[in-house]
Amino acid sequence: MTVGKQGNVAVTSNAPLVTVYKEIAVNAQVGDITTNAIKNHHRYRVVAWWTSGQTGIAKSDSAPNAIHFSVSPKFLRGLEGRWTPEDLLLCAVASCYTTTFNAIAIHEQFEYTDLGVEAEAIVSKADPGYSFSEIVIRPTLTIPQDDGRERALDLLGKANALCLVSRALATPQTFEARVEVSRLYPAGPSANMDQPPQPSMQRSPLQYVWPCTMKDGTEVVLRPICPEDEPLMVKFHETLSDRSVYFRYFHSVSLRTRVAHERLARICFVDHDRELVLVADYEDPKTGHHRILGVGRLNKVPERNEGEAAVLVSDQCQSRGLGTELLRQLILVALDQKLTRVTVEMLRENLAMQTIVKRLGFRLRLLDDPTAIRAFREL
């Protein structure tokens, strides 16, 4: 519900009590953040080239990868599936707000679980041409405790006041912030992360279940993930090193971001028509407690009738054959679902993963991105 409004700035919260939104002033303390981070003047430079038809390439001095863009299909029959200038503008707004809030949160020592920022714009017919008539910025901040709502709303507002890109735009802007409380664990005395998952209303494809024995003799079961695995996934992510996380996601991702309820809920509650996530489920023979030791994902790409695979194994279980078996079973799933190809993208420095894909019959192909390499196997 909307709990406060100042002009075209609205702040929302799912709190049961009304929280009053306070007028935002860029005080000296917050001002110090920008003063310390950016001193004097800095120049940014982007160059765009028109390649052919309705598409082009943009390159920044600060980033190695170029962006392929197109004119908007809504106006001039642009190419579908490419970034448009309108998309890039909204991306700049959303990403600038995200980095600004993170800087403020660090400075204020404010703990949060997750932040998602939606930027939406309305383009209207003008004289001449078209123009942006409104931009709406909708940050959704997830915090670990309910008593931090008011401070969260205050910091969200400060980030809006300090966002460099938003302040550079003349287009009228509406700010709609929302604060949610993370629920990492099921409520109630029956919640126990050590117990195996119970049947869910969402049925998993039970035909994709295999026993697996690791090189050291450890026995696990490879099975589809289910919603009740969320607490086990929290524990799994706690076993991953920064290097393993970097190799999987191609950049650093904090633990609190990886175990946020909203993120894990999307992973555990899978639409099996579009993707399959396998977990390596280990049951301690002495205690009966369950642990997830590895995760494999197969995302379907219907327009190309192929699947994109990825594997992540707990550090303590690496080099024991588990990653190989997870990927092998994902290939079997792809065959069963009549896909024609499986691809795996990895960092060039990830030599262990390159060894696995070569062992399973993949061929490697260099990419334009100098940091990454793609492996593919025809089925």
Domains defined for the chain, CATH in brackets: 2-181 (3.30.300.20), 210-378 (3.40.630.30)
Residue 332 DSSP SS3: helix
Query: Which of 245, 223, 211, 217 is closest to 292 using CA atoms?
Result: 223
| Residue burial 20-39, b: 16+ Cβ < 10 Å; e: rest | ebeebeeeeebeebeeeeee
| Residue 159 phi, psi (nearest 5) | -65, -40
HEC letters along 99-156: HHHHHHHHHHCCCCCEEEEEEEEEEEECCCCEEEEEEEEEEEEEECCHHHHHHHHHHH
Distance from C-alpha of 134 to C-alpha of 288, rounded to nearest angstrom: 57
Distance from C-alpha of 334 to C-alpha of 298, rounded to nearest angstrom: 8
Token pair 């901040």 is found at: 141
Return per-residue pLDDT of the chain as tens, 379 residues: 333 333 344 444 443 322 333 333 333 344 444 444 455 778 888 898 887 777 888 888 887 778 888 888 776 666 777 888 888 999 999 999 999 998 999 999 998 877 889 999 988 888 888 888 899 999 988 887 888 899 999 999 999 999 999 999 999 999 999 998 864 333 333 334 444 444 333 445 668 999 999 999 999 999 999 989 999 999 999 999 999 999 999 999 999 999 999 899 989 988 877 899 999 999 999 999 999 999 999 999 988 999 999 999 999 999 999 999 999 999 999 999 999 999 999 999 999 999 999 989 899 998 888 899 999 999 9
Instruction: Give me the pLDDT at residue 75, please.
Output: 67
